[in-house]
Structure 1
């Protein structure tokens, strides 16, 4: 209540003055650039519909079309309005009729006059409504103060002083009056407070609306002024294409795996655009790669090779995804979109039907196509970390399916198994798709203590370690299993590692990785063993064993 007494008066916006200032600034830019000869020669203002959109990983090419007619001097000026303010001004392309030329063009971003006038009108109406409610609030506040003073006076005179005596009937009348009036005042004050709370809430909501309309006045819209020249009185259909930066897409997939290992892939595009305008029922094309920044050929750069983590049979590293559409930030979106740039080729995908992409930046999942991959099921056991096997489906003929790195949602056995970010191996390598854990393929790992020793020899100590891994297939069918463990890798020359036994496993001497590739029959159990000796200085403590 006290805060409302401190409400500042609302400013009145001069619509005509602001509109004229915007027009003068815009006309000066056009005149100074040589596009128009005088401020009253703005030409025809049009809003051509969007015919098609080509979405790149970063950016989008928008195509609009309309008709242009030249005057008797063979010229016409068209102001194409309703564009995004994120237009890349130097990437304009215009189709021209025979003998036509584009004399000049200029792009500018400003708030349309109609938006300014509408926002100012709405703000003025809101100001009047707020002022009316504020006056009502002040009247109710004054009445509440009067009721409070009356109640305070009644309460201060409710006791009898001195030796004054009242008859019983007079005392009863006095008590009844006091009780009825106090009750009446309490109800009246309660109603006033409730009404004042409603007025406060209403004024707060109106102020929020007012701020939203103020933001509308700050929103800019792109305008492209095109000046054509050609044969007098001729007309032609003109197609304009330009690039906006606030748009992009990334590939996402559904991978449905059958019991025989075959995979049905469904390709989607997770597309977004923040132009503020909806792309509704527009023909879309999704391109892997970025739009060229110039009509001149790009500089061919040196192709460099580097080494990273493998996604082949010897290493299984995937980036887990908690949700399929959980873009938490612009940086997260940028990370996943840029990953698609590592595609093997430059691909182009066209959905069979138009789609809607809202202009507020929210991602839209758009179906593109479905295709099949041949695959085989296998299992990966990491007994040092878990007893349960990870099920994989492996495909060697994936390169012809125009796959692009992206997030994959895995479905198997009618169940959603989770999602991960798919990186592609080199062509010719096997693509592995994880399906999660299978509790019916298991392994246990234990240290064989009666074969573990530690003995000193001179200034050195030798530690012998031995392990057994029991692998079990509880299915009624044969399975292919890769069991993975490791021999310790010395980080300093003072530590020496000698392998004792591997039970047929293959050792990668560089990494210490130990792998057994097994074929287990139905309900088969098999035991693997391996051991090693570590020699080190007996005056030091060995860590990491």
Structure 2
């Protein structure tokens, strides 16, 4: 009793002076996620009541694998943050993969179904055993008449047959249930082996000058998240504007569910690093081979390669489903004034921590486009309708896959590559079978002649294009002439038929306008001169 009194008095004194604190669990509310191309910044809040003095809180519903340097804790009403410690929470059940939960629930359900079947089999087995015993007793009881004995045997036989049939049926049911449970357990093992990120905890120590309530805001960066852009492009016809639906595939395996959070998508990538590269002087010198021991063949084989690898490493070291989104525009604001573009989405979204892609609508744009037909019959016999979009820089586009719809029909996938595009993006809207293109070699103009020590071989081609549409169209036809890098192999007597000809690449382009049901033919050719006895590849 003496020790208890001393401790009680000591506790009273410490409490009166404001020095005591006890660890308290507090669940954070995840409110906002800023998703980068790789990584995400999460913002969580909590309303906490503090006692005067030091207080220690263990905050849960925190992501795992948090970048410790990125953790920022703010508290209101003069509360001071004294220390922050992060730790993974491997025992948390809230952060298990949704598929794991689903499989565990299914296994539990099958086990619940299995138990009554197993009980029924046990009961039937016991009933069959009793019948077998009664039959044995009846057979040994010689006091029964033949009629009485036959009556008892018939009764046992009828009952036995019914019980055996029921038992066989229940055995089959039990076998199917056990097989299903085995499959579910196998799937559960595979799912658990995928390594879903566990959740985390933040142990934070505060100091309050007096009893108070404070609003806590905690911000941190996680690497296991990101987004990729994707687009739907709709063209109603070959005259009007193009509708572009900007969407995002968001994934996250942070270890915590993003439940009804406000999303901001950023084109930034904090994992790329902020430090600008600095080049050091790059010194070159002549290679001086080392003296080689003739009896050491290993040195003979590896010395030059080692020198090459060293120079290469030195250089490296110095270098270092479509949905209508017209209303979405009301909920998304775009900010492109800074280094990165951000899309603030006011609608709350739920993104589970499963590493899977989840589609989010961002913006809808309507932009003018010009249309033209294109064909390269040497490579493909069909004509393609192209939509050309200018001033695409104003759309804040990133490289990404595109679903193409033309005249209300899905025609296929394309790709917007903003890194290699200058002022115009060209998108194929599909094949137009109403424009017929054919390329064939003109055999009448083909000839092979030997003049002295040289061979002259003439080539001639016809491109026939027909417009079966009811309106006039303009199509760009493309073909090519060979380009020689050998002085003995000469391309001459070029007939380009008025094409836009690039001598460096050998490319030929003809813009051709066709009236309705009109057919035109383009003839071009060239001559190859090469030494007799040589074969052209």
Q: Same fold (TM over 0.5)?
A: yes
Please say which of residues 105-114 and 429-438 is displaced more in the overlay.
Answer: 105-114
Distance 1:265 1:124 in 2: 47
**How far off its partner does 1:176 sit?**
11
Q: Give the equivalent residue in structure 2 for 1:513.
A: 507
What residue is the counterpart of 1:397 in the other structure?
A: 391
2:262 counterpart of 1:283: yes
Q: Tell me which residue corresponds to 1:378.
A: 372
Superposed, 1:14-93 pairs within 5 Å as: 43-73=23-53, 75-93=54-72
How far is 1:191 from its partner?
Answer: 1.8
Q: Answer whether contact 1:393 1:435 (CA < 8 A) is retained.
A: yes
Is 1:104 paired with 2:76?
no
2:202 paired residue number: 224
3-state SS, counterpart of residue 540 of structure 1: coil
Paired residue for 1:273? Answer: 252
Matched positions, count: 442
Structure 2 SS opposite 1:539 = coil
Q: Which residue among 506, 518, 527 is the counterpart of 1:524?
A: 518
Distance 1:498 1:522 in 2: 37
- Report 1:186-201 matches (<5 A): 186-201=161-176
Structure 1's 528 and 103: CA in aligned 2 closer, same or farther, altered over 3 A? same
Contact (CA 8 Å) 1:395, 1:430: kept in 2 or not? yes
3-state secondary structure, aligned to 1:59: strand
Among 421, 428, 431, which residue is 1:437 paired with? 431
Three-state SS of the structure 2 residue aligned to 1:351 is strand
2:416 and 2:425 in contact (8 A); partners too: no
In the TM superposition, what whole-angstrom CA distance separates every residue of 1:208-241 from its partner, at most 9, and x where no partner exists? 7788699699984311111223534344312111
1:50, distance to aligned residue in structure 2 (A) = 1.4
Q: Where in structure 2 are the equivalents of 1:329-478 lying within 5 Å?
A: 346-424=340-418, 428-478=422-472
Comparing 261-270 and 276-285, the one that deviates more: 276-285
Normalising by structure 2, report the TM-score.
0.70
1:251 and 2:229 equivalent? yes
State the Cα distance separating 1:207 from its structure 2 match: 6.7
8 A contact 1:482–1:516 mirrored in 2: yes
CA–CA distance in 2 between the matches of 1:275 and 1:140?
52
Tell whether the 8 Å contact from 1:395 to 1:431 is kept in structure 2 after alignment.
Answer: yes
Q: CA deviation at 1:124?
A: 12
CA–CA distance in 1 between the matches of 2:111 and 2:429? 61
In 2: Cα distance, 1:246 partner to 1:218 partner: 10
Structure 1 pair 126/419, CA: closer, same or farther in 2 (3 Å)? Answer: closer
Q: Is the 8 A contact 2:63 2:222 kept in 1?
A: yes
Please give the alpha-carbon distance, in whole angstroms, between the structure 1 residues aligned to 2:517 and 2:108: 81
Distance in 2, matches of 1:258 and 1:128, equals 56
1:427 to partner: Cα distance: 6.6
Distance 1:396-1:132 versus aligned 2 partners, 3 A rule: closer
Gaps of 5+ in 2: 1-19, 96-100, 137-145, 280-320, 324-337
Any idea what the Cα deviations from partners look like across 1:517-543, whole Å, max 9, x if unmatched?
A: 233344433221111112233323323
Q: Note the C-alpha offset of 1:256.
A: 1.4
Q: Does 2:460 correspond to 1:481?
A: no
The Cα of 1:377 is off from its aligned counterpart by 0.7
* TM superposition shift of 1:405: 1.4
The alpha-carbon distance between structure 1 residues 71 and 436, as it changes in their structure 2 partners (threshold 3 A), is: same
Please provide the CA RMSD for this pair.
Answer: 4.4
> What runs of 5+ residues in structure 1 fail to find an aligned partner?
1-39, 154-169, 304-322, 326-343
* Matched position secondary structure for 2:164: helix
